[in-house]
């Protein structure tokens, strides 16, 4: 069995609870009543009338991006065959996802699970092993401790444009493991916190793509190289 392993991280994920400053707003109250805990997750599709009042609003309120990412990565041949480690980073912390997790297909159930995760730091709340758990280190320190710029790859529209084949050919030149960082927000660019992590920065083209497009292109090429597809 090939011993290569990809650590794929969705960074700056637009996942958070409704800020306290907005909890008394009519749309916030309405959706909490309608959806319960799931309604307490900030979601631009439900809170579009108030989200624009928040700082950096274009990078907030998109839990669906994380939902897509988890469905795509957890169900991928790379994960099912043991070649993938899955993580995400958001305002509440840096999280490790168990490869055994079955991500809820239903979006409301998923948001209820994310509410529990933000509040407790892990899910399920009591039973172990955890399906998702908050890491002790933040993303920057974890990356520094486990990888170098030679095997850390950041995908950004501001990166160096190159073919996917050329990019993935570099993944395992320095080690049998690599870290791949992808943005988990709708619009804008990486913050200095992420962009200053030592890495090789690449772009699939001169235009930006949705994170699930980038994720699936990378996974498909990785799986092709492993002869999984």
Domain segments of the chain as ranges: 5-14+64-101+136-225
pLDDT of residue 24: 93
Strand blocks (E) in the chain: 5-13, 84-90, 93-97, 122-123, 132-134, 152-161, 177-183, 200-203
Residue 6 three-state SS? strand
Question: How many whole angstroms separate alpha carbon 8 and alpha carbon 89?
Answer: 11
% of the chain beyond a pLDDT of 90: 81
Mean pLDDT of the region 94-115: 97
- Arithmetic mean of pLDDT, 150-162: 93
pLDDT score at 143: 97
- Mean of the pLDDT values across residues 140-150? 97
C-beta of residue 41 within 8 angstroms of C-beta of residue 92? no
CATH superfamily of 5-14+64-101+136-225: SPOUT methyltransferase, trefoil knot domain (3.40.1280.10)
Question: Can you tell me the mean pLDDT for 26-43?
Answer: 93
């Amino acid at each position: 069995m090939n011993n290569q392993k990809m650590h794929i991280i969705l960074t700056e994920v637009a996942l958070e609870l409704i800020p306290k400053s907005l909890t008394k707003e009519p749309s916030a109250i309405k959706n909490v009543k309608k959806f319960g805990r799931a309604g307490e997750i900030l979601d631009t599709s439900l809170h579009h009338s108030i989200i624009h009042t928040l700082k950096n609003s274009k990078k907030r309120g998109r839990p669906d991006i994380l939902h897509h990412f988890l469905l795509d990565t957890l169900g991928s041949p790379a994960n099912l065959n043991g070649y993938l480690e899955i993580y995400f980073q958001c305002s509440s912390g840096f999280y490790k996802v168990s490869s055994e997790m079955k991500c809820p297909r239903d979006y409301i159930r998923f948001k209820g699970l994310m509410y529990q995760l933000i509040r407790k730091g892990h899910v399920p709340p009591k039973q172990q092993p955890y399906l998702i758990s908050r890491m002790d280190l933040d993303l920057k320190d974890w990356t520094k401790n486990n990888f170098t710029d030679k095997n850390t790859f950041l995908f950004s529209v501001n990166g160096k444009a190159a073919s996917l084949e050329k990019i993935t050919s570099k993944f395992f030149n320095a080690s049998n493991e690599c870290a791949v960082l992808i943005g988990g927000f709708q619009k804008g660019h990486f913050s200095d916190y992420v962009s200053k992590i030592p890495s090789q920065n690449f772009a699939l083209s001169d235009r930006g793509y949705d994170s699930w497009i980038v994720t699936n292109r990378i996974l498909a090429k990785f799986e092709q190289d492993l002869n999984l597809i």
